[in-house]
Every structure is written in structure tokens, then in C-alpha cells.
Amino acid sequence: MLRTRGLRVTRGRLAVLDVLAAQPHADADAIHRAMASAEPSISLQSVHNVLAALHEAGVLRRFQPARSAARYELRVDDNHHHAVCSRCGRVEDVDCVTGEAPCLHAPAPAGFAVMQAEVTFWGLCAACAATER
């Protein structure tokens, strides 16, 4: 997949992809910590560089919830949204309501062609909501 996107296959890129396969919606710090045992010499800056290259090549998606670090995921082939827990920060995917991009239909400025809509739902995840009861 990396080669078809014009990228060299490196240990760092493969390690980042492995982490994101196991931990969708991870930020760069979490990815760096998860890589520490397999790639102890990789720096946080190198992780950021790998993430930028993979994002630019369309291998992963970058999104940034308000008041949070940028998160990354491998799910790039659709126009889904995210639900973020206001207490613990857990992120879950929310499938597009109509199944097509964009899945929200709002009036756009004249001549503006909307290609993607990004929505973030805020609330409490199931675990945090259970502690509210």
C-alpha cells in the first residue's frame, strides 16, 4: 500500500501503521509511547514526520477535536464523523447518516462545492455515563 502511494516502506512507517491498527484515534504522543518497545530510538519528531507523510499520501486521516491534540486513524475511505467523550477523551466513529460524502446537506455559499462535512459529537462515553448514575 505504501509503495502504491509513492512512499518508501520503512520500519517507522510500518510501526506507526501497526499502532494505529491497534489503537485507532491515537495522537502522536500515544503512538510514540506505543512504539517505544519496538522502535526505542525513534523520536517524537520522527513520529510527527511519519504521520505527516502518511496523511499527505492519503494513507491515514488526521482530525483534531476542540481542546485536543490531533488524532489519526486508518479509516480514510468514507466520510464518517466522531463522538468524543468530554470527560475521558475517548473517540468513537459515527457512520455517515446517508452513506455518501457529504452526508450533511446545509446551504453553502454560492458557487461553493461541499465535498466533505466534518461533525464532532460531544458527550459522555458509556463508561463515563455509567459513573453519572
Distance of CA 81 to the CA centre of its chain: 10
Residue 38, pLDDT score: 84
Q: How confident is the model at residue 113 (pLDDT cuts 50, 70, 90)?
A: confident
Q: pLDDT digits over 55-91, tens only?
A: 999 999 999 998 889 999 999 988 788 999 999 999 9
What whole-number distance in Å separates Cα of residue 81 and Cα of residue 118? 6
Task: Pick left, alpha or beta for residue 95 (phi over 0 → left; psi -120 to 50 → alpha; otherwise beta).
Answer: beta
Kindly report the pTM of this predicted structure: 0.84
In contact, 15 and 35? CB cutoff 8 Å: yes
